[in-house]
Structure 1
Amino acid sequence: MLTYNVRALRDDKAAVAGVIRACAPDVVCVQEAPCLLRWRHECAELARESGLVVITGGRPASGNLLLGSWRTKVIATRNARLTRTRGLDLHRSQPLLERRGLAMAVLKISGVRVGFVGLHLGLDAGERARHVAEVFGHVQLLRTAYQTEHLVLAGDVNELPHQYCWIRFCVRFVDCAAVAGRADELTFPAVMPDRRIDGIFASQGLQVVDCRVVDLPEVARASDHRPVLAVLRVPA
């Protein structure tokens, strides 16, 4: 699977699709997918050019989008908006911070149900901390409603691995890059990256075969983030 912040496809759409195709993922968690006019068309076009289909997300998930291959069977989908944070956004000089959300799906892979949650946490540390608790609430609902033992969280965490939210995720899930011995591979910015703020987190029952930051030639012009690709083995 792949997680990729595509910056609303403002850079090079063809390069984004090319990167995704080259990775040949079964599932993609996209952040900053199109949310404005013709967003459905834009998301469908990205899926088609990437050789995938839209599973769920887009505007109802505040820009989180799940794409999948024909090898995955969709059991259920759900989108959610996280609580809006009121207060001055110093980054944008607006009265409200950008609304955050989740794109969620339960897929059958090799006969086993696996839940996927795509997320993009905000720039404000206090908001991120509050939203982590909400994310865990949605994860539990997904597990209970669809009897899903295995689950993957993926997205743009907007903080470093030693900070609060990343640590909270690692209490309940494993950091796939760390397990694969690639925690030193950085994701932002795409050109000369200096930090790791994008990650894939898997529940204990899933085996991490590999996890790495994608460094294809197209990555530098596709977006301002580098994507993260994980190979996970579902237990028989």
Structure 2
Amino acid sequence: MQLPSSRTEPGGAAVVRLLSYNIRSMRDDRHALARVVRACAPDVLCVQEAPRFFRWRKHAAWLARSTDLVYVTGGATACGPMILTSLRATVEETEDLLLPRTPGLHQRGFATARLRFGPSARLSVLSCHLSLASAERRAQTGLLLDRVRDWGGRYTVVAGDLNERPHGRSYRRLARSLQDGWTVSPWGGEHTSTPSDPHQRIDAVLATEAVQVLACGVPRPESEPGGLPGLTDTDLRAATDHLPVLAVLRVPAGQ
């Protein structure tokens, strides 16, 4: 299957490429990371584990500049999740949300943005990295779904590291309310962890019913059938400790 390209259709609907990627605070090969993102050519990049400590804005700016994207929101202000976009997106609203913290565990948050593509195709985006602790993760899942409902919009996408496989309680709760991109329209590979031994799917792109998922999965290197030009297995292994999830979404006009 050839991956659909980004475009605005007659009538105003938009086809949007969204990439979700846990980048492990850019502690690995950042140049390989940038090459992976550029090969995927996203309109929206939902990051997890963005740099969030000393001079984090400088690192975020480097990533944006090196991938031909612009910083939108998140990073330290959301305790890790971050959103970047291409110039194709018009940013209408952003908000970073800090979640209740369990003593002894990491602070978590959501990076959120409302984006417009073309004259009237609007997409609300939430980047998340859920807890390793099951009880806290279940509570965060409820807050995530509350946020989706509070937006009141039909066209919403959630992307992130869920720290749980599809059979898990929190993942199943999300999949009951949102489309699981891989389940709806699988493309490429399924497993996101780890690059050297992909054996589990803990990263996902999920969308409300009104968003059409055209394709979703782990992009394959150019050496494999259906692989992305410019994407190499070497870079996928060197960039970080997760594989990215690339989704192509069709967002209707007129919200």
TM over 0.5: yes
Other-structure match for 1:90: none
Matches of 1:149 and 1:44, distance apart in 2: 31
CA deviations 1:104-153 (Å, max 9, x no partner) are: 00000232211000000011001100111111222233x14xxx320000
1:112 aligns with 2:112: no
The match for 1:10 is: 27
Task: Give the corresponding residue for 2:52.
Answer: 35
**Structure possessing the higher relative contact order (Cα contacts under 8 Å, 6 or more residues apart):** 2
From 166, 169, 188, the equivalent of 2:171 is: 166
Aligned to 1:26: 43
Counterpart of 1:59 in structure 2 is 76
Counterpart of 2:135 in structure 1 is 126
**SS in structure 1 at match of 2:213:** strand
Q: Tell me the distance in 1 between the aligned counterparts of 2:22 and 2:168.
A: 20
Aligned residues: 223
Letter in 2 for 1:127: E
CA distance 1:85–1:43, change in 2 (3 Å):
same
Q: Which residue pairs with 2:89 in the alignment? A: 72
Among candidates 205, 214, 227, match of residue 209 of structure 1: 214
Provide the C-alpha distance between the structure 1 equivalents of 2:186 and 2:146, rounded to a whole number of angstroms.
Answer: 30
Q: Which residue of 1 aligns with 2:201?
A: 196
SS in 1 for 2:72: strand
Residue in structure 1 matched with residue 246 of structure 2 by the alignment: 229
Partner of 2:224: none
- Kept in 1, the 8 Å contact 2:122–2:251? The answer is no
| Counterpart residue identity of residue 64, structure 2 | A
Give yes or no for the alignment of 1:135 onto 2:144. Answer: yes
The answer to whether the Cα contact below 8 Å between 2:189 and 2:217 also exists between their aligned partners in 1 is: no
User: 1:160 is paired with a residue of what secondary structure?
Assistant: coil
8 Å CA contact 1:177–1:183 kept in 2: the answer is no
Aligned residue for 1:169, secondary structure, equals helix
Q: Please state whether the residue corresponding to 1:171 is helix, strand or coil.
A: helix
Q: Percent identity?
A: 42
Rounded to whole Å, the distance in 2 between the matches of 1:215 and 1:83 is 37
Structure 1, unmatched stretches of 5+, are: 87-95
Q: Does 1:181 align with 2:186?
A: yes
User: In the aligned structure 1, how far is the partner of 2:39 from the partner of 2:91?
Assistant: 23
Runs of 4+ in 1 over 3 A off after TM superposition: 181-184
Q: Is the 8 A contact 1:56 1:66 kept in 2?
A: yes
* Cα contact 2:178–2:208 (8 A) shared by 1: yes
Structure 2 unmatched runs, 5+ = 1-17, 222-232
| Residue type of the alignment partner of 1:122 | S
Aligned partners of 1:137, 1:40: CA distance in 2, in Å? 29
Query: Equivalents in 2 of 1:55, 1:154: separation in Å?
Result: 15
Structure 1 position 156 matched with structure 2 position 156:
no
TM-score of the superposed pair, with normalisation by structure 1: 0.91
> Quick check: 1:215–1:226 contact (8 Å CA) kept in 2?
no
- 2:88 is equivalent to residue 101 of structure 1: no
- Matched residues in 2 for 1:230 and 1:65: separation? 17
Question: Could you tell me how far apart the structure 1 residues matched to 2:112 and 2:190 are?
Answer: 26
